[in-house]
Chains A and B, each alone.
Chain A
């Protein structure tokens, strides 16, 4: 994989020996969101890691997930510190509860992932649209030939739980 990939002024480095990430991003390039699943206990984990945090198993398989979920929390960056994000402000970062494995294996644990809230065309979504409880789906932003980033866009599905956003 050519290194590094340049994205918004950042050098994204995923060397050939990055045993955690390299296959994840190969799947992402095919526009598939995959999680590591433990063959021993069946639980999925993110980010990809060398062992199962629940049973210490060292084996894994890649399991595709739907990429659908609910906004668990968010932030709106008004003052970017990375130069490549200056022209994108204000931009929204979301923490998404994926539909698979919610509140499993304990009520406090869930399969969660971070991305930007974007429009279907990949541009940054307006901060006026974000709220905890709103539904999203994954979409992929192609960065270079061998790398795509998972991002999230709003759907028309009914929200989950109480809908809330920071008062103006």
Chain B
């Protein structure tokens, strides 16, 4: 497959985040404004340079055209799409398209959510009380509503087909907790063991409590513009090599009808994104495989070819995905430990890794000076990474992917 004609033509030039917390005490509008502003300043841009804005949400946030004017931004293009996980990568691709079409020149993409204090991502409270209609009638009346409940039968079938064990996938949480211990921003900074994970209480079998991600309040932002423009900005440009957005399995109305149900959307996305980038999994230095649950990280890593299908349990428990390993995953701690943003914090982390400025405990981290000591409360910068890959997850049948290089 020929590489994409847009490979290396667009860059992520700015990133911004609020605190990851369970107590924002403010509106999604106020948080979005902070994250977008930080990303603009990070890029070395001015408000007048931003003329595109996009966000994703599920009726739980503030639209782009309410956020932009707070910062004095006049928009030539804006769009808010429905969705959660897998949206970040897809919107980066759409922003490239909008710029390519001449609609605008620089796009700020944000996700702002009070995922703990307002709209619990775990599905309790207001979400659990929603009326049940349409396709939801095929599963919600049977007590299958939350993300964990929606995905658990996929994970269970993977254990049946491949012999995957709870202990193997627990290593995902162990690795991400190690990474979070080197991240001052992470909500959970304590390292955990496999035993901690498998002895935590059951939520929905085969998921223990510690197999599940956090619920947090936060906003995050990335800014996309042309490579030409990026070369004159404040940060080292981070180039988009390939992107795949919300690639899906057949029958997303009821994906159970089309198996194997242990197969996830990466099966269909991998040829698109690797084809655009002209690389293979072996070329990737850092992965950002979405960790809504320990299992989702594993399922995507094997589906995209970082190991053989069915060998994900061995892969994630081998040490490869830990800092110091061959190809660490979610080096900021991800959704399991840093905070829950529906995927954007994992893209932000990979941008920082490629810049060499992971914001760890190293005193001169902002200047790119690191110790590479991966002990607790120390360094989380990978040594000279060149290529990263984000594997975004919406649900078993839908995912996105993004390959970046420095």
Residues in A lying within 8 Å of B, measured CB to CB? 4, 7-8, 10-15, 18, 20-21, 45-47, 49, 53, 72-83, 85, 88, 90-91, 93, 95, 108-116, 127, 132, 149, 151, 162, 164, 166
Contacts and interface: CB of A to CB of B under 8 A. Distances in A.
7 contacts: A18-B133, A73-B160, A78-B201, A81-B145, A95-B153, A112-B257, A132-B156
Contact of B259 (A11, A14, A49, A108): A108
Classify chain B's interface size: 35 or more
B168 to A, nearest CB: 13
Contacts of A81: 122-124, 128, 145-146, 149
B261 interface: yes
Closest A-B pairs by Cβ, 8 of them: A75-B152, A78-B202, A76-B205, A13-B133, A73-B153, A73-B157, A11-B131, A47-B138
Interface in B119-137: 122-124, 128, 131-135, 137
Interface of B: 122-124, 128, 131-135, 137-146, 149, 152-154, 156-157, 159-160, 201-206, 250-251, 253-254, 256-261
Contacts of A10: 131-132, 140-141
Given A13-B132, A116-B143, A166-B156, A79 B204 contact: yes
A91 B143 contact: yes
A166 to B, nearest CB: 5
B137 A12 contact: yes
Nearest to B135: A47
A79 B259 contact: no
B191 to A, nearest CB: 25
B312 to A, nearest CB: 17
B131 A73 contact: no
Contacts of B159: 166
A83 B139 CA distance: 16
A168 B173 CA distance: 21
Contacts of B205: 75-76, 78, 90, 127, 166
B253 A72 contact: no
A114 B149 contact: no
A102 B251 CA distance: 16
Contacts of A83: 128
Contact of B257 (A4, A12, A46, A85): A46
Contacts of B149: 75, 77, 81, 93
A132 B383 CA distance: 45
A78 B133 contact: no
B45 to A, nearest CB: 42
A47 B137 contact: yes
Given A10-B132, A93-B142, A77 B204 contact: yes
For B143, B144, B152, the residue with the greatest tally of chain A CB atoms inside 10 Å of its CB is: B143
Contacts of B142: 93, 114-116, 149, 151
A47 B254 contact: yes
A83 B146 CA distance: 13
A79 B205 CA distance: 10
B120 to A, nearest CB: 9
Nearest to B156: A73
Among the interface residues A8, A75, A91, which one has the most CB atoms of the partner chain B within 10 A? A75
Query: Which of B141, B204, B256, B260 gathers most chain A CB within 10 Å?
Result: B141
A12 B146 contact: no
A46 B137 CA distance: 12
A4 B254 CA distance: 24
Contacts of B154: 73
A149 B132 CA distance: 13
Nearest to A20: B134
